[in-house]
Amino acid sequence: MTEGMNKDLRRMIVDMTVAGRDGHIPSAFSIIDIITYLYSDVLKFDSASPDAADRDYFILSKGHGCLALYVNLHRHGYIGDHDIAQFCKKGGILGEHPDMTKVPGAEASTGSLGHGLSFAVGIALGHRIKKMDNKLFVLIGDGESHEGTVWEAAHIAANHKLRNMCVVVDWNQSGMQLLPEDDLPAKWRAFGWHTQEIDGHNPGQIETAFRAVADKETDQPSVIIAHTTKGKGVPMIEGHGMWHHRIPNAEEYAQIMEALS
């Protein structure tokens, strides 16, 4: 995998936003490289059988990044061209936050921050009761990490030694605009998690980190703290500002597509 390989998916995200007249492009670009790697190289799944009992789970807890999930579900056959075309349209199944009851492959209906990790811990405890060994991956935001429930769940997962659980923190510095004194790696270590820190857009580091999770010999749950950039890949929308929830006009669209060409 090389940096920039996900330009096709980034272009698709922009097209969906323009067609649907809604969407969070920078949040999706922040996590697209990690989610794409997960679906390509890590997760065990069968899109023809989304509820297969032996599947791995991926929960996008920061639901507003869902465009990065949708384009991967499309790439792997969970949803079709028609679904993509109907993003945020009447009768469509894809909205600005994923709805588990509508979207094949979406494991949770997220949007309200601070729910996905706790829900996933329940799934992991349920798997233990049922003597199943499925792996769970949960992607949360750094802003989302302001929520107390994130830490309640982290506390439980470590104490119950949920070794099959891996959290990815999308550390795009969003939360640090408000609470700048935040040392996320120290926090996760203090909670007893196997902690790694990577560049969330660097293909080699992403691969190495997930391999380390797979090879880990302790019973600790894992966390990969990914340094990311909102809007990564298109300099004009990178960072924190008006692009958080903005639809490009025709001129901006052309500039974005040029950057992603």
Partner 1 sequence: MSPEKSLRQQFADTMLSVGQADENLAVIVGDISHGILQPFAKACPGRFFNIGILEPTMVSLGAGMARVGLYPVLHTIAPFLIERSFEQIKLDFCYHKLHGNIVSVGSAFDYSNLGSTHHCYGDFALLKTLPGMEITYPGSAVEFDTLFRQAYNNDLVTYYRLPGTPHGVEFKASDIELGKGIKIVDGSDITLIATGPHLRTALETRDRLSENKMDAEVIYVHTIRPMDVDLVHASVNKTRAVVVIEEHMRSGGLGDEVLRETRDISDVRYASASIPDAFVTGYGGYEELCDSVGLTVDGVMSLIADKII
Interaction site with partner 1 (CB under 8 A): 100-101, 107-109, 112, 115, 118-130, 132, 149, 152-153, 155-156
User: Considering just the CA atoms, what is the radius of gyration of the chain in Å?
Assistant: 17
Sheet holding 136-141, edge to edge: 57-60, 136-141, 165-171, 222-227, 194-199
| DSSP bridge partners of 207 | none
Directed axis angle between helix 25-37 and helix 7-20, to 10°?
140
Minimal distance in Å, beta carbon 158 to partner 1? 12
Minimal distance in Å, beta carbon 151 to partner 1? 9
Minimal distance in Å, beta carbon 227 to partner 1? 27
CA distance 118 to 97: 18
Q: Characterize the bridge pairing of strands 222-227 and 136-141.
A: unpaired
Minimal distance in Å, beta carbon 117 to partner 1? 8
